[in-house]
A and B are shown apart, each in its own frame.
Chain A
Amino acid sequence: MPEPTGVIHDIGYQRYTGPRLGRRHVFGALYLHGLRTVFGLGRSAKAKIFPWLVVGIVTVVAAGLAAVRSQLGEVVMTYAQFADAMSWLVIFFVAVAAPELVSRDLRSGVLPLYFSRPLPRDDYALAKLLSLVSALWLLLGGPQLVMFLAAAFTTSDGLRGTWNELLDLLPGLLYAGLWAVVFAAIGLLVASLTGKRAFAAGGIVAVFLMTTPIVGVLSILPSHAVNELAFLASPSTLVGGVGTWALGDLLVPEGQGGGMPIGSFGPVYAIVAVLLVTACTALLLLRYRKVAAR
């Protein structure tokens, strides 16, 4: 047998010797990319239609409310009531955004590429969740800021009026954050179950819409305790219940019907909301352990 004569030529490929950014930077990049994906930034015009349709409607409504307030001096909706009134649009926005964030990656099979980086499975899921939460908060918070600016510049009480308005805005923004966390956790969990964006969107809407009439039925049952606990059944009313308990008069002034009739079950609402978000996040992380193992 002759000696092998082949050689490996050095054709000048070089190793990367520069600084390597760690886990935190991967997380940050993924978060930013997720946030841009939700609004279709850096993507084709078709991907921008639906997110910006929702943003447009919400902003126009806020501008209309602000105009009515500055012209007629009438407060049609408080900041919290604005978030409640936009619930259908928030559901639609989640149905648009959540599948874009997770279903596309599942379908095109790029997860192994992600996980070949120094990126733990949990970080991937948490980054996506965080970007959806931020996007939803921006969706609800932005219009509230528009309403605030209009109110602040037309107030007749000078700086004092602006300060009072700011004190109204802050609980509103906090409440918007609550909406964002609850809706993002549920929506992203549903979307992560399927790689088809169409099915993910349908599933999200089914989950959110199906629960609303349950509240309507539970609140007419012949039991006072059940009536006051009925709002637990649907995410949007659950958020309303927690808001009524935690922020109370800050959200809806007494003169405007007050909050939801939850009686003395306020803490129950808070605990259920925390449990719901925790459970959804835990299931999401579990899901990504399983998906990544494939």
Chain B
Amino acid sequence: MSTVSWITARGLFGRRRFLMLLPLPAVLVLLAVLCRSLGVDPGEWAPPVLVGLGLAVVLPVVALIIGTGVLGAEIDDGTVVHILTKPLPRWQIVLPKLMVAAGVSAATVAVPLYVAGVLADSARLGLALAAASALGALAYSALFLALSLVTRRPVLLGLVYVLIWEGLLGNFVSGTKVLSIQQWVIALTDRMAPTALLSTTVSVPVAVVLTALVSVGFTVLAIDRLRSFSVAGETS
């Protein structure tokens, strides 16, 4: 484990703020257990819990807060200068940070989704949800990490993507679903564990290719942006 990833992990876990992320997965598990214990038909409760809460809210919001935090927090503080002045190639800064962000988000989201998936249908659905959401966490983290280098307001721009693109337009204009990480995760899950609970209009090959493309593309963009990064104060 490199020093950069160690610093990043400590920056994430070292603050009490991190505890504020825990209610999100906890609510997910709680709702799944509640529905299961009351004997509600999984066909009714699984879509709102797994997709409506898990994949549409918990995964993007957790990935957004962590993904923009790993590098964005240091940029805000100005302490990113300390890392930038070390004789490290830029990719050795971006990749460890991306790995920590994706790993932490994946762990925070995949575990409750696994539990909810097992309660909803089978261990297979649980594993598929966990694996697909881990891939989704990687794609989201790469996107939000690159955003924190491209703009000074990464969280708001990320929220525009999550709320307006995936949330609002995804409901009304079906064409935007092709470019929605949430729909790719659903497609991947449905491929790994075919059930009647999840459905999407995006085909599996498209989802696979685009997930890989987004993960790699935005990582490369982040490395490139960090090469010519100029440190400035907080926006007014």
- B-contacting 9-mer, from A118-126, A210-218, A272-280: A210-218
Tell me whether A106 is interfacial, beta carbon within 8 Å: no
Q: Is the interface of B mostly helix, strand, loop or mixed?
A: helix
Q: How far is it, in angstroms, between the C-alpha of A207 and the C-alpha of B69 when the chains are bound?
A: 18
Q: Is the CB of B236 within 8 A of A220?
A: no
Q: Which of B38, B39, B52 has a CB less than 8 Å from the CB of A213? A: B52
**CA separation between A229 and B123, bound complex, in Å?**
33
Q: Residues of B contacting A222 with CB < 8 Å?
A: 38-40
A114 within 8 A of B: no
Does B167 reach chain A (CB closer than 8 Å)? yes
Flag if A221 contacts B38 (CB, 8 Å). yes
Please determine whether A213 and B48 come into contact, CB atoms closer than 8 angstroms.
yes
Chain B contacts for A198, CB-based, 8 A: 65, 68-69, 72-73, 76, 154-155
Given A198-B76, A206-B61, A216-B48, verify A47-B236 contact (CB < 8 Å): yes
Chain B interface: which size bin?
A: 35 or more
By beta carbon, the residue of chain A nearest B51 is A213
Contact B236 A43 (CB under 8 A): yes
- A205: B residues at CB distance < 8 A: 61, 159, 162-163
A209's partner among B35, B61, B76, B164 (CB-CB below 8 A) is B61
Task: Check if B111 is an interface residue, CB within 8 A of chain A.
Answer: no
A180–chain B nearest beta-carbon distance, Å: 19
Q: Which of the residues A47, A197, A213, A221 comes within 8 Å of B53, measured between beta carbons?
A: A213
What's the Cα separation between A196 and B234 when bound, in Å?
11
- When each residue 125-154 of chain B gets 1 if its CB lies under 8 Å from chain A and 0 otherwise, what string results? 000000000000000000000000000111
B93 close to chain A: CB less than 8 A: no
The answer to whether A217 touches B48 (Cβ under 8 A) is yes
CB-CB under 8 A from A57, the residues of chain B are 164
In the complex, which residues of chain A have a beta carbon less than 8 angstroms from the beta carbon of B72? 198
- One digit per residue, 1 when the CB lies within 8 angstroms of any chain B CB and 0 when it does not, for chain A 234-272 equals 000000000000000000000000000000000000000
Within 8 A of A (CB), among B23-74: 23-24, 27, 31, 34-35, 38-40, 44-45, 48-49, 52-53, 56-58, 61, 64-65, 68-69, 72-73
- How many A-B pairs fall under 8 Å by CB? 102
> What's the Cα separation between A50 and B27 when bound, in Å?
30
Cβ contacts under 8 Å, A213 to chain B: 31, 48-49, 52-53, 56-57
Taking a contact as CB atoms closer than 8 A, the residue among A44, A201, A206, A221 that contacts B40 in the complex is A221
Q: Are A217 and B45 in contact (CB under 8 A)?
A: yes
A194-B17 in contact (CB<8A): yes
Is A88's CB within 8 Å of the partner chain B? yes
Please, which residue of chain A has its CB at the minimum distance from the CB of B236?
Answer: A44
Q: Give which listed residue, B17, B24, B45, B162, contacts A210 with CB less than 8 A.
A: B24
**What size tier do the contact residues of chain A reach?**
20 to 34
Asked whether B20 is an interface residue with its Cβ less than 8 Å from the other chain, the reply is yes
CA–CA, A194 to B17, complex, Å?
Answer: 9
A30 to chain B, nearest CB (A): 19
Contact call A217/B31, Cβ cutoff below 8 A: yes
A199 at the binding interface (Cβ < 8 Å): yes
Return B99 CB to nearest CB of chain A, in Å: 21
Residue of A whose beta carbon sits closest to that of B44: A220
Among A7-15, A21-29, A64-72, A89-97, the one that faces the other chain is A89-97
Q: Would you give the shortest CB distance from B195 to chain A, in whole angstroms?
A: 18
Q: Which residues of B contact A (CB under 8 A)?
A: 17, 20, 23-24, 27, 31, 34-35, 38-40, 44-45, 48-49, 52-53, 56-58, 61, 64-65, 68-69, 72-73, 76, 152-156, 159-160, 162-164, 167-168, 235-236
* 7 cross-chain pairs, A with B, having the tightest CB-CB distances, nearest first: A213-B53, A216-B48, A213-B52, A198-B155, A202-B65, A209-B57, A201-B155
